[in-house]
A and B are shown apart, each in its own frame.
Chain A
Amino acid sequence: MDLAFTEDELAFRSEIRTWLQNNKPESPLKSMDTPDGFEEHREWEKVLFDAGWSVPHWPAKYGGRDCTLNEWLIYEEEYYASGVPGRVSSNGISLLAPTIFEFGTEEQKDFFLPRMASGEHIWGQGWSEPDAGSDLAAIKTKAVRDGDEFVLNGQKTWCSRGAFADWIFCIVRTDPDSERHAGLSYLLVPADTDGLEARPIGRLDGEPGFAELFFTDARVNARHLLGGEGEGWAVAMATAGSERGLNLRAPGRFVAVADRLRELVAGPEVQPRADLRGDVIDSWIRAQAYRWLTFETATRLNDGAAIGSEASYMKVFWSELDVHMYATALRLAGAQGELIADASDVLDDGSWMDGYVFSLSGKIYAGTNEIQRNIIAERVLGLPRR
């Protein structure tokens, strides 16, 4: 066990830290879930990509720099500590990309990965349906084979980034007579496909952060199938593993918030609150616990082990930590806590309220925390299903 960072890792940290300091946009970008803000964030993706800092953990031929898993975790720490804009491409680079790496053909990798890394393709996720939420296997959207194409009919909902995305990764039912987990396929769909209509849905903060998608005889080329026809469930679960585990939410994001919370409670902007001190300390400790569990997991992955159902521990832990941190910050803010960005008295540009509202979605998306706890109980602890 050697928990000191190597010379290479320290040099990597120093390099990304310096680059972020020198390239941080002068003023914050608009919300990525507004039309203007979306394009501003797309431009930021290009800035990252041109410097080789969009997807450093990917192979160089797809736009990365072949960095190690530990270096990627360091990158995430520095990224979120620096306060640069969030990643509008996260659905693609965090959720879809690991699946393309695992199941994609060479042609698909060559086409999709560089465009995803540069921000040319921003991806939305088309999984949930009106009657398929936690029970994802209840998917009804049909994709019927017609020569070289699939003809799609049905409805998707809660499609993250769906209002502005260029491509959507979908799970559809390619075998019309199938039920539940069988007969599903994973299909990559251009957002400008004829017969695909996106209707934005106002999120809790009022911004069109997700959308409903309506497919009416929408024709998609069969070469955009990811993995085999009828193997969609297995392919999707590989993505879900990424989503709940290492890929979507690395510890750096939470360590950065815990550090800001620590500065907030110790600083002059808020009243001393002895009653909240323990909550701040606990937030910091839990963020560190997530950090160390992740480095341990990274070592296991490097040593050849796979990440399994224990990924569910991570998703529950970080999502609940996130809510706890922002809720604590809003309490520290006292009467200013309910103010939003437009208020002149607002604390830290309203970022604590924005963060709080967004954090609440974390316990719902990627499989609710209740579903995750069932998975932990049944697949990790071995409790009987019925």
Chain B
Amino acid sequence: MHFAFTEDQLLFKEGLREFLAGECTAADVRVAWENEAGRVPGLWNKLAELGVVGLTAPESAGGMGLGEIDLVGLMEEMGRAAVPEPIIEHTSVAIPALAEAGKTEVLAAAAIGEATVTVVNPRAPYALHGADADWIIVEIDGELRLGASDSLPMEHQPALDGSRRLYRLDVPRGWGEPLDANPALAFDRGALATASQCVGLARHLIETTVAYVSYRHQFGKPVGTYQAVKHHLANAAMAVEFAAPVVAYASWACANNVPERSREVSMAKVLASDAVDLAAEHALQCHGAIGYTYEYDLQLWLKRAWALSAAWGDAGWHRDRVGRALGI
């Protein structure tokens, strides 16, 4: 039992954080809200050059041959920066499934970011960036199928988070080709990555709110001196502190495919969804009216928080799945 990330894993995480602080600012996220693709121009290619996009692909396919434990901290940074890219779908879910199924051509293009693959399943039924993606993996009747996105009729479903370009797919019977990969594992990877992004989002929400209430004065002193404000933020921080180790543990459970893998992923998503919900609620409340404006950047993180808290199964759905695994 040794519960720590390696020096390399921590350095990669730190490096990505610094990179995103420059390359995916709030202004960049706002650009994605307004442009056609809903993505930050050029960011995907830069992430591919860093090796992040193809991180989970085997080295023989042009990737880094890394797994869930290496990825989980990077996903946290994606959440912290509110990165508007289909990185969960592409890197956490699609690439391992393509590798498992031996789809070498699509895998090779996906590993270097040349092709984008998005994923839908019953818990995330709208295709994120479906129109902009080249390939789509669909879970139907408990099986994964792969096909080109332009072969599917789809309809844009605008979401509150302007960068989340969601598409309803009308998948014809027998569409695409079977993808011989484990759909339950694919789902767990998506839920795990989403949980990790929730942790990162929650950390950002707490940090920016701490900064705001330390600076904002009322009654002649910073509002952060008041116990009501302190306790809101302490509660949100506590929820994150207890979610993060379980998310890390769930990444280990996925990487080692332990028998309780799905239960552990669900525990992680319950804690991470609840944590980001609490962080979003208290961040807005502690900001007051300024946080309720469209112009102030907090809204970008709030809306992503609400979306990812619910995506890939919300806390209630995952709590139920833990209960069924426990026989209650």
Contacts and interface: CB of A to CB of B under 8 A. Distances in A.
Interface of A: 1-6, 9, 70, 262, 265-266, 277-278, 280-282, 284-286, 288-290, 292-293, 295-296, 298-300, 303, 310, 313, 316-317, 370, 372-374, 376-378, 380-386
B15 interface: no
A380 B221 CA distance: 20
B242 A313 contact: yes
**Which one of A70, A262, A285, A300 has the highest number of Cβ atoms from chain B below 10 Å of its Cβ?**
A285
> Quick one: which of A3, A70, A277, A290 has the most chain B CB within 10 A?
A3
A284 B225 CA distance: 35
Identify the 7 closest CB pairs spanning chains A and B, nearest first: A377-B230, A376-B234, A373-B234, A292-B245, A281-B323, A299-B3, A289-B242
Given A262-B328, A383-B229, 6 more contacts: A278-B323, A281-B323, A285-B270, A376-B238, A377-B231, A384-B224
6 contacts: A5-B1, A9-B1, A280-B328, A293-B241, A296-B245, A313-B238
Given A290-B242, A317-B242, A383-B210, A374 B1 contact: no
Interface string B218-248: 0001101101011101110110011101101
Interface string B68-81: 01000000000000
Nearest to A303: B4
A188 to B, nearest CB: 34
B322 interface: yes
Contact of A1 (B3, B214, B231): B3
B71 to A, nearest CB: 12
A289 B242 CA distance: 6
B319 interface: yes
B328 A289 contact: no
Interface in B238-291: 238, 241-243, 245-246, 248-249, 252-253, 256, 267, 270-271
Contacts of A277: 323, 328
B246 A289 contact: yes
Given A3-B1, A9-B1, A282-B319, A386 B249 contact: no
Given A266-B327, A292-B245, A300 B4 contact: yes
Interface of B: 1-6, 69, 206, 210, 213-214, 221-222, 224-225, 227, 229-231, 233-235, 237-238, 241-243, 245-246, 248-249, 252-253, 256, 267, 270-271, 316, 319-320, 322-323, 326-328
Contacts of A265: 328
Nearest to A294: B245
B2 A2 contact: yes
Contacts of B328: 262, 265-266, 277, 280-281
Centre residue among B1, B224, B319, B328 by max chain A CB count within 10 A: B1
B245 A381 contact: no
A293 B242 contact: yes
Contacts of B246: 285, 288-289, 292
Contact of A377 (B6, B233, B249, B319): B233
A277 to B, nearest CB: 6
A316 B238 CA distance: 9
A303 B3 CA distance: 10
A265 B326 CA distance: 11
B218 to A, nearest CB: 13
A113 B248 CA distance: 38
A317 B69 CA distance: 26
A284 B326 contact: yes
A131 B104 CA distance: 74
A289 B235 contact: no
Contact of A383 (B2, B233, B248): B233
Contact of A374 (B5, B227, B248): B227
A284 B322 contact: yes
B237 A386 contact: no
B237 A380 contact: yes
A370 B227 CA distance: 9
A383 B326 contact: no
A9 B1 CA distance: 8
Nearest to A259: B326
A3 B3 contact: yes
